[in-house]
């Protein structure tokens, strides 16, 4: 029987700060544009967190029944590690998706943005077929996984949150969303760099496997450093004082250096678990810096 700790580990809490980040920035953007709504922001946060945990449990289930997690280097998975029955893990994933769906319908109902139901449904479908189904795109290694993460956990999550509150999406908001999308891709890359040896053995052809260890590490670094430049662009766009804009860049650069240095100097295996955690916190830190700039402008 899996313990409560096992289920918490299976939810992969280290990914949740990155899930919350787009909601924070989208809500701060709504405040800047004069339309912040706390209740809608909370509903968006429930959607984001429930969807992320659902994705994590769904991946645990799908990778586990395929045998991909049989010889993993990270923490034991619920399914692959034999800690819980596959159908129980599947039920947990579906329960999370259901919660995200209920909160999402409530959000679009109070905001009148009904078109977002289609976007939300697409996000759930993308989440399931990441590692689920007969031909999961996470096993193709053609960059589709990274694209889906960029779109759904960056663009849609950030712009969608703002749109449900103020129904406006200026270009600088898309810049914010793109930065958060890149940081989410970095989180995925860190995970896949760690798993290159076991993924190769199990036949899971991620982009990291196809690119190789060295190139994947540089892709990771690019994904955490480009947002440093983008936060400066946002500061200029919203009319922030030049010194404050520089401070934003310096703060973001400090986090980027902290997470990229271990990866570029060869951290591997379990050492990358800390990188995963810190990349999530780096994403949250970027979001808080951007949100602070938007709220104080």
Share of the chain above pLDDT 90, in %: 74
Residue for token digits 């329960």? 95
Query: What is the distance in angstroms between the CA of the first residue and the CA of the last residue of the chain?
Result: 52
pLDDT in tens, 212-262: 999 999 999 999 999 999 999 999 999 999 999 999 999 999 999 999 999
Count Cβ atoms below 10 Å from residue 231 Cβ, excluding itself. Answer: 22
Q: What is the pLDDT of residue 70?
A: 64
DSSP-derived secondary structure for 12-67: TGGGHHHHHHHHHHHHHHHHHTT---HHHHHHHHHHHHHHHHHHHHHHHHHHHHHT
For residues 283 and 100, give the distance between their C-alpha atoms in angstroms, rounded to a whole number: 22
Q: What is the pLDDT of residue 32?
A: 96
**Residues 142, 143, 145: CA angle, nearest 5 degrees:** 115
Q: What is the pLDDT of residue 140?
A: 87
Q: Is 184 a residue whose pLDDT tops 80?
A: yes
Inter-CA distances, 33 with 36, 166, 167, 184, 239, Å? 8, 7, 10, 25, 13
Q: What is the pLDDT of residue 200?
A: 86
Nearest to 100 by CA among 63, 144, 55, 138: 55
Inter-CA distances, 36 with 32, 88, 136, 291, Å? 8, 39, 38, 12
Predicted TM-score (pTM) of the model is 0.93
pLDDT in tens, 199-215: 888 788 899 999 999 99
Would you mind telling me the total number of residues written for the chain in this entry?
297
Rounded to 5 degrees, what are φ and ψ at 253? Answer: -65, -35
Residue 74 — pLDDT band, cuts 50, 70, 90? Answer: low
Q: What is the pLDDT of residue 264?
A: 96
Q: Write out the two tokens for 28.
A: 């701060």
Q: Is 76 a residue whose pLDDT tops 80?
A: no
Q: Is 73 a residue whose pLDDT tops 70?
A: no
Q: What is the pLDDT of residue 139?
A: 86
Rg (CA), the chain: 19
Q: What is the pLDDT of residue 246?
A: 95
For residues 116 and 193, give the distance between their C-alpha atoms in angstroms, rounded to a whole number: 33
pLDDT in tens, 130-183: 888 888 888 888 899 999 999 999 999 999 999 999 999 999 999 999 999 999
Query: Please, what is the average pLDDT of the chain?
Result: 92
DSSP-derived secondary structure for 67-102: TTTTT-SSSPPTTTTTSS-HHHHHHHHHHHHHHHHH
């Amino acid at each position: 029987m899996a313990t409560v700790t096992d289920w918490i580990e299976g939810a992969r809490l280290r990914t949740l700060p990155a899930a919350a980040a787009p909601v924070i920035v989208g809500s701060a953007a709504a405040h800047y544009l004069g339309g912040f709504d706390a209740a809608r922001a909370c509903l968006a946060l429930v959607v984001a967190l429930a969807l992320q945990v659902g994705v994590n449990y769904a991946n645990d289930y799908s990778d586990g029944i395929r045998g991909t997690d049989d010889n993993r280097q990270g923490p034991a998975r619920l399914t692959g590690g034999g800690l819980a029955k596959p159908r129980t893990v599947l039920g947990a994933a579906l329960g999370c998706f259901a919660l995200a769906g209920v909160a999402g319908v409530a959000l679009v109902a109070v905001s009148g943005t009904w078109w977002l139901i289609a976007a939300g449904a697409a996000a759930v479908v993308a989440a399931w077929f990441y590692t689920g189904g007969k031909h999961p795109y996470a096993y193709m290694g053609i960059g589709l996984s990274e694209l889906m993460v960029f779109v759904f956990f960056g663009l849609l999550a950030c712009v969608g949150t703002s749109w449900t509150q103020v129904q406006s999406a200026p270009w600088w908001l898309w810049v914010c969303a793109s930065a958060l999308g890149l940081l989410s891709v970095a989180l995925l890359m860190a995970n896949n760099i760690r798993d290159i040896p076991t993924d190769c053995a199990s036949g899971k052809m991620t982009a990291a496997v196809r690119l190789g260890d060295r190139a994947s590490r540089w892709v990771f670094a690019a994904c955490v450093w480009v947002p440093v430049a983008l936060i400066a662009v946002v500061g200029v766009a919203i009319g922030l004082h030049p010194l404050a804009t520089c401070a934003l860049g310096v703060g973001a650069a400090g986090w980027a250096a902290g997470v990229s240095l271990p990866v570029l100097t060869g951290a591997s295996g379990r050492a990358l678990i800390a990188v995963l955690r810190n990349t999530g916190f780096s994403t949250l830190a970027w979001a808080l810096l951007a949100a602070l700039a938007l709220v104080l402008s």
